Amino acid sequence: MELDTTRQPHTRVAWPRPAGLVASALAAGLALAPALPAAATAHGATAHGAMPRGASARAATTRSATAPATASGRRTIGGPQLAGHGVIVNYPSAGAMPLPKVKASAYVVADAGTGQVLAAKDPHGWYLPASTLKVLTAITMMPVLNPNATVLTTRRAANVEPSKVGLIAGDSYRVSDLFKAMLMISANDAAMSVAQAAGSVAKGVAMMNAEAHRLQADDTVARRPNGLNGPGQHVSAYDEALFARQALSIPEFMRDEQLRTARFPLKPHHKPITLWNQNTMLQTYRGDLGGKIGWTTASKATFIGWARRNGHTLVVTILHCKPPYELTYAARLLDWGFDEDAKVKPVGVLVPPLPAHTVANDQAQPQKPRALPPPAKLGLPGVPLLAGLGTIALAGLTAVTVVVVSRRWRREGSPPAR
């Protein structure tokens, strides 16, 4: 978990997906302002089964809405029902346990084996990930980095705040130890060093975005490997379920997730320090396989978790949740999932990764800008973009860019990596 007091959107976010910050400002000033007034919201009903006995009408109804992927006429990844913004569940005619009440803006509970999404809320909505983005960092880097290799800690990594293991600039650490610190105690400095091991932080982040594309996690834009809020960074509950399912295929990841404690050699020739896993569900929830907690003032509580019972493995993802109840809600959703798996009709499916040749072809082709979801507000962190008034947008373009860049520099203590 981490504390980030930077002013950020406190609700569902929807930022453009540019290659860089200046490109984002240019696209906003030149393209978005004249286009937004003409945007129209399509509506479609989400199918449901009959309301179970004892369930409220609110729990059995999904608000009609359109997900980002359908705003431009494109298919919704995972199935059309996942276009809804409200609670999405297909109850059988009778005998089903109602979904627990979860004070979170978005969540997904799915069977990792079959890929069936059992229930969801705003699954494709764009939200700030906080430290749950470290799961994407890990599943991207673990298959390509030598766990016994060492990484020299840069000053940028050592100075990152606030949750950290305490890496010392100029000292080297094993990649495998950095992964443990990143996953067990959410060490932001360790996540920066893991990305640095790819050649540079910028290259590591680029690899994360490429992996998200391969997994068909099209709601995801990564900007910082530790998940701290960055300009244009966002994920969805559905995408994080894809990350969670992929993590299950990486033995090293799942071993680290299930560690209660680990020793970390912080200083050469000194006694290692002890890392204690933040995920208390390892001790309290039957069948728990691990979990990644995140928190910033803007993202609120976020969570990705895994559990296995009776031969079934479920994943749960929660975004923009009222803290400190994310683990309580995760346990309730998992309990419901284990009880209702194979009873409720799935509302969608976790799609498989793209074939390698498809990813290569996609990366070789120019990418068309993705349509922005009409229900959400546009904006960069702390700097609203005025839509509909092209002249005003152009006049303020330079000021917007300078303010955002300067704020980012002040937070990180150095210009962003290129």
In a domain, 11, yes or no: no
DSSP string, 15-59: ----SSHHHHHHHIIIIIHHHGGG------PPP--PPPTT--TTT
Give the global pTM: 0.73
In a domain, 357, yes or no: no
- Distance (Å) of CA 138 to CA 10, 33, 141, 222, 285: 26, 37, 5, 13, 24
In a domain, 74, yes or no: no
The set of long-range contacts for 38-44, using a CB threshold of 8 Å and a minimum separation of 24, is 39/71, 39/372, 39/374, 40/374, 41/66, 41/71, 41/374, 41/375, 42/66, 42/70, 42/71, 44/70, 44/80, 44/83
In a domain, 276, yes or no: yes
Residue span of the structural domain in which 153 resides: 130-309
In a domain, 385, yes or no: no
Look-up: residue for tokens 């994407």? 136
In a domain, 204, yes or no: yes
CA distance 80 to 348: 8
State the CATH number of the domain containing residue 236: 3.40.710.10
In a domain, 374, yes or no: no
In a domain, 32, yes or no: no
Q: How many domains does one find in the chain?
A: 1
- Residues with catalytic function: 131, 134, 186
Please answer whether residues 348 and 78 qualify as being in contact, where contact means their C-beta atoms are separated by less than 8 angstroms: yes
pLDDT digits (tens), the chain, 418 positions = 444 433 333 345 534 333 333 333 333 332 333 332 322 223 233 333 333 333 332 232 233 233 344 444 568 999 999 999 999 999 988 888 999 999 999 999 999 999 999 999 999 999 999 999 999 999 999 999 999 999 999 999 999 988 899 999 999 999 999 999 999 999 999 999 999 999 999 999 999 999 999 999 999 999 999 999 999 999 999 999 999 999 999 999 999 999 999 999 999 889 999 999 999 999 999 999 999 999 999 999 999 999 999 999 999 999 999 999 999 999 999 999 999 998 999 999 999 999 976 665 655 554 444 433 333 332 233 322 223 333 334 334 334 333 333 444 344 443 333 3
